[in-house]
Structures are given as structure tokens and as C-alpha cells.
Amino acid sequence: MSSLKNIPVVAETRAPRSGEKYVTPQGFTAIKDGQKPRSAESPSARVGKPRWIMAPIPTGAGFSAVKGIVREHRLATVCEEAKCPNIGECWNAGTATIMLMGAVCTRACRFCSVDTGNPRGWLDAEEPENTARSVELMKLKYIVLTSVNRDDLPDGGARHYADAIRAIKRRTPDVAVEALTPDFQGVMRDVEVVVDSGLDVFAQNVETVKRLTHPVRDPRAGYEQTIDVLAHAKKYKPEVLTKTSLMLGLGETDEEIAQCMDDLRAANVDLLTLGQYLRPTAHHLEVQRFVTPAEFDQYREWALAKGFRECVSGPLVRSSYRAEQALAGNNAGLVNAGPAPGIGAGWELGRDAPQQVDTVQAPAPLPNSYPAPIPKESAPAALPTGFKWLGKVDYEPTWREMQRITDTRDEHTPDEIWLLEHPPVFTQGLNGNPGHVLAAGDIPVVQIDRGGQVTYHGPGQLVVYPLIDIRRAGLGVRDLVTALERAVIDYCATLGITAECRKNAPGVYVDGRKIASVGLRIRRGASYHGLAFNVNMDLGPFQRINPCGYAGLEMTQLAALGQPKATVEETGKAFAPFLERALSALRKPKD
């Protein structure tokens, strides 16, 4: 065996071992798994993994089919190169994360098992079209593209990246594309080339907290550099979602995690993923602790409280894991059931790590006095306590049920907040002027018992009905209206939409157009009726009335403000925590 700079170089006779140099088919040398051999590992590095670190074995018909497509089109996948534990689940579901520009990276991050070397400008010119054909064959609706760093290319591979995205959009225009890109050495014109390609989500991973960036990442990477890239992408094209990922278990503190979240939100990053760092080989950084499933749930609540649109958080979560579900508002369907030592404790290696943890302690509050989120034992996976998603329900039976609950309330009746949508209906307030109904046509008009004038409900509009004993909750009527309006404004802000209230005109407006209406009834000290929030609906029926009694009042909705794929259910689940926090902030302490 020959050697190069004292690293063994493997000939073609056998596959290289981890840490060995080898010669690629393209003629340049690379180090297998990205890290040179290091001194003997510490005893703690050999401690077994906790029981919640489990993943399906990568076998099955779906796995074989995806593997065949990948091999046929000479594609690399981060699933294989980075030794992702979720490869069995994802490939059996027919999806893979395609890695562009080859399988050799010019950087050598100490957490990553992608091979490292200098490709010296090599690129597969057929890769963009091969990638597009593979996406078409896999019948995907959502594809994540990632890549190695290519510091050997003048533009870091930005144009090649953009060519692949455009090829996918030409063949399958309805496929959503997420691009998990390099940092392009902070050259913003290269970032813009990728952002201009037609992608839907732009991602660049911060990987770890600021203090640990070096030695975790390659010296050419940087904490501020990544955040600057994400901030520029969002500012350059606000309608594109931005996303990043943070590994936990490398020695970070809770305060550092919270500060990293703050730094990312200051850059208007929309989506965050949190996952457990797993050591890929003995040559990589050791795991400092195994974060428990309950801790991952709590960190997710921190992120949502700080304004991220979604935070997908769990032990086996990786930046592209279940990426197509990232906006479902339910942690991408993950249920992190498991033991829960206090936040920040986890399972620390080198401290007589147990085989299982059975003690459950109350999670610690957020650092820096952030308001504590809902305790996990009382919160459903997708909605805060007391919130209910009812789906599409007829107006009149729903109204009658609200009346019944209000009329039969006693001190034991729980408060509830209903989220739903209605079939088309005009509702006219108690003292509403019939003249404001201009041409109802085939849409029924229902005279109801709230205040205000006529409004419209229909499919694609989120309706929120707070059934709350306001005296018991320590709320005034004005508090409840304010909370509904504030929740809409704060939620819109996370989407890059500036919304506001108007004096003496309840509701929420964007550039003078109304996006949400508020109308309440208080009876026996309890509320019903509530909020109508336009998401993705036919606004035409509003032209048949003077909305809320204002002739010529223009309406708008999320779909017209950069959210064309918004749905009522997803919006409701994402909006609920904002309303829950707004109500909590306004509750008056009991005597």
C-alpha cells in the first residue's frame, strides 16, 4: 500500500477503510469518511446508545426501488454518504435527499462522514437532468437537494445547483424544491443565483451553537457567515422560506441553544430542525450527551415561542427528515414519547450512563425568563390545551351548540377554543342593517346574536370560536378582542406580513385591506362567536355585501400575501400557540 503525507492510499483492489485516502474514479484523492485516523478513543465513546435511538433496518421493496433509481442515474445521496439513520424509513417511503456535485467535499467538518478531498473542478454535466429524471420517476411532490461544499469552483457550484432546480421544475413544475446549500464562502451573489432558480425553501445549516462552531465545523465555515447567508436569502426573496438545522449533544448549554434560536430569528429564519448528534466513526467528535425525547419536545416549544413557523425536533431528526411535512404544525408527525430528565440533563456520557432513565422531572423554564410553554403532559401533539380542530362544519348547528354550552355553563365547564371552517354563509349581527347585504344570491343569510354588521364565512377561512368563562380566566371583553387581534398580527409577522389594527374598527388589516374580522357575544360572563381569518378562499362573496358595514372595504388573505399554498388546518395549528400566548399575557392575576 502506498502513502501520501503518511496517510495510506488504497488502490482499486479493495474498498477504503474509514480514515484512509483513496483515488476516486475521477482521478483525485479523497479521505474516506472525511476524517484522518486519530488517537485511541476514550472509554465514554464506546457507551451504548439509549433505547430511543432506534431506526428501521434499511430493507424492503421501496428501499430497493429508490436505490435502483439512484444507482441508474449515477446520483449521490446524503442518506448514504452521511450515514443517516433514517435511510430505511425515507427510502421505503419513496423519497431520498439527492446530493449534488459528487460525493467528495472540500471541507472536513468533524461531525460529518462525507468523504473529503479536492475534486479540482470536476462536475458531472449530466447531473442536473439525471436528478430531474429521478425526481420524476420517484413521483415526488417534495424534493430536498443538498450538496457537498465545492470551494474549488469559482462560484461554489451555485450555477450547477440552479441548473438542477430548473431542470426539476421543467419536468415536474408542481414539485416543491428545498435546497440545502453550502455557504458559498459568504459570497452573496452566488446565494442569489440559487435563490433565483425557482426553489421553494432555501436552507443552510448552522449545525451548532456559536461557541462550538470551531472545532465542530471546518475552519472555512462560520456561525455568523451561515446566519448572514440565511438573512440575505430572506431579504433578497422574502417569499422563499429559509431553514436551518442544529445538532444537539455536542456539549452546548441551554442558554447557548436559546441564544442561537434568537440569532436565527433575528435573521428571519422560518424553519428550524433539532436532532441528536450521532458519532459516525471513531475518528469523529464524541457525543457529549444523549438528549431525551422530552427535552426535544421542550426545545421545540422554545423555538415556537420565539416565532419560528415550525421546529421539527426529535432524536433522529435530520435537516431534510420528513421535510415535506415541515409546515403541518405537528412536529412532522413525530411523537417524542420517552423519559424526561430535566432540560439540559439528558444522558451525559462518562458519568455512569444508565441503560434507561425512568425518573421524570418537571422541565426547566426557558432561559432569560421566557414564558414557559404548555406542559407536555397536557398538550396534544398539534394544538395547545383546550384548542380543538373541528374541520368543516355547518354554521347554524355550530352556533346553536355554542349557545347551548354557554347557557348550561357552571364552574366545572372547561374553556375551549374551536378552530374550523364553514361552508358559504353570510351572518348578520343583532342590529345589522339589511341594506348592507347587496346581493346574497345562492348564499344563505343567517341572523345571529352577536354584535356588528354582515360578514361572510366560507371554505378557506379559519374561524376561531373562543368559548371562555372570561371572569374565571381573568379577562375583560376588550382583553379578548385584543388577544384575537394580537395573535393574528404576531402570526402574520412570522410570515413577513405587516398587519395592524384600526382605531374604532375591530379586526386586522394589511395595507388597508382587511384580513381578519372580530365579532363576539358575551353572555352569563362567557364568550362565543369570535374571529374570521382569511387564509386561502374565494373572496368574491365579500363583493355581495358591505363587509362589516363598510361600503367598498377591500379584503385580503394569506394566499395573496406570499402564502399561496396555505391551508386552513395548517394555519389553525400554527396560529393556535399565538392566541394561547396572547390570552396568557392579558390574564389578570386573581386576588
498 pLDDT above the threshold of 90: yes
Residue 473 exposed, middle or buried by CB count within 10 Å (0-12, 13-18, 19+): buried
Q: What percent of the residues of the chain are helix, what percent strand, and what percent coil, each to the nearest 5?
A: 30, 20, 45
Q: What are phi and psi of 7, to 5 degrees?
A: -105, 125
Q: What are phi and psi of 583, to 5 degrees?
A: -65, -45
% of the chain residues with pLDDT over 90:
47
Q: What is the DSSP letter of 122?
A: -
Q: What is the mean pLDDT of residues 458-472?
A: 93
505 pLDDT above the threshold of 80: no
Please answer whether residues 186 and 225 qualify as being in contact, where contact means their C-beta atoms are separated by less than 8 angstroms. yes
Confidence of residue 231 (pLDDT cuts 50, 70, 90): very high
Summarised one tens digit per residue, pLDDT across range 394-409 is 999 899 899 889 888 8
Please answer whether residues 473 and 583 qualify as being in contact, where contact means their C-beta atoms are separated by less than 8 angstroms. yes
Q: How far apart are CA 380 and CA 330, in angstroms?
A: 9
Q: Regarding predicted confidence, which is higher, 352 or 18?
A: 18
Report domain extents, the chain. 2-34+58-378, 387-586
- Residue among 260, 256, 265, 247 at smallest CA distance from 304: 265
Q: How far apart are CA 43 and CA 39, in angstroms?
A: 12
26 pLDDT above the threshold of 90: no
Q: How far apart are CA 404 and CA 407, in angstroms?
A: 5
Minimum mean pLDDT range among 174-183, 305-314, 326-335: 326-335
Rg (Cα) of the chain, in Å, rounded? 27
Q: How far apart are CA 185 and CA 150, in angstroms?
A: 10
Summarised one tens digit per residue, pLDDT across range 330-346 is 666 666 754 333 344 44
Q: How far apart are CA 531 and CA 508, in angstroms?
A: 10
% of the chain residues with pLDDT over 70:
77
Confidence of residue 142 (pLDDT cuts 50, 70, 90): confident
Q: What are phi and psi of 58, to 5 degrees?
A: -75, 80
For cell 362565543, the residue is 528
Q: How far apart are CA 415 and CA 392, in angstroms?
A: 21
- Enclosing H/E stretch for 97: strand 97-100
360 pLDDT above the threshold of 50: no
CATH of domain 2-34+58-378: 3.20.20
Q: Regarding predicted confidence, which is higher, 72 or 550?
A: 550
State the chain's mean pLDDT as an integer: 81
Q: What is the mean pLDDT of residues 511-515?
A: 93
Give pLDDT, residue 114.
86
Give pLDDT, residue 39.
59
Minimum mean pLDDT range among 29-38, 160-169, 290-299: 29-38
What pTM does this model have?
A: 0.56
Q: How far apart are CA 567 and CA 460, in angstroms?
A: 7
Q: How far apart are CA 391 and CA 451, in angstroms?
A: 25
Packed helices 293-305 and 568-586: angle between N→C axes, nearest 10 degrees: 80
- Residue among 291, 269, 256, 268 at smallest CA distance from 367: 256
Q: How far apart are CA 136 and CA 151, in angstroms?
A: 30
Please answer whether residues 190 and 224 qualify as being in contact, where contact means their C-beta atoms are separated by less than 8 angstroms. no
Confidence of residue 374 (pLDDT cuts 50, 70, 90): very low
Please answer whether residues 68 and 62 qualify as being in contact, where contact means their C-beta atoms are separated by less than 8 angstroms. no
Q: How far apart are CA 425 and CA 295, in angstroms?
A: 45
Give pLDDT, residue 275.
92
Domain 387-586 homologous superfamily, CATH: Bira Bifunctional Protein; Domain 2 (3.30.930.10)
Q: How far apart are CA 184 and CA 346, in angstroms?
A: 35
Helical H runs in 467-591?
470-473, 477-494, 568-586
Give pLDDT, residue 20.
85
Give pLDDT, residue 82.
45
Give pLDDT, residue 164.
95
Minimum mean pLDDT range among 329-333, 495-499, 563-567: 329-333
Q: What is the mean pLDDT of residues 158-180?
A: 94
Q: How far apart are CA 126 and CA 149, in angstroms?
A: 19
Q: Regarding predicted confidence, which is higher, 329 or 377?
A: 329
Please answer whether residues 43 and 102 qualify as being in contact, where contact means their C-beta atoms are separated by less than 8 angstroms. no
For cell 411535512, the residue is 325
1 pLDDT above the threshold of 70: no
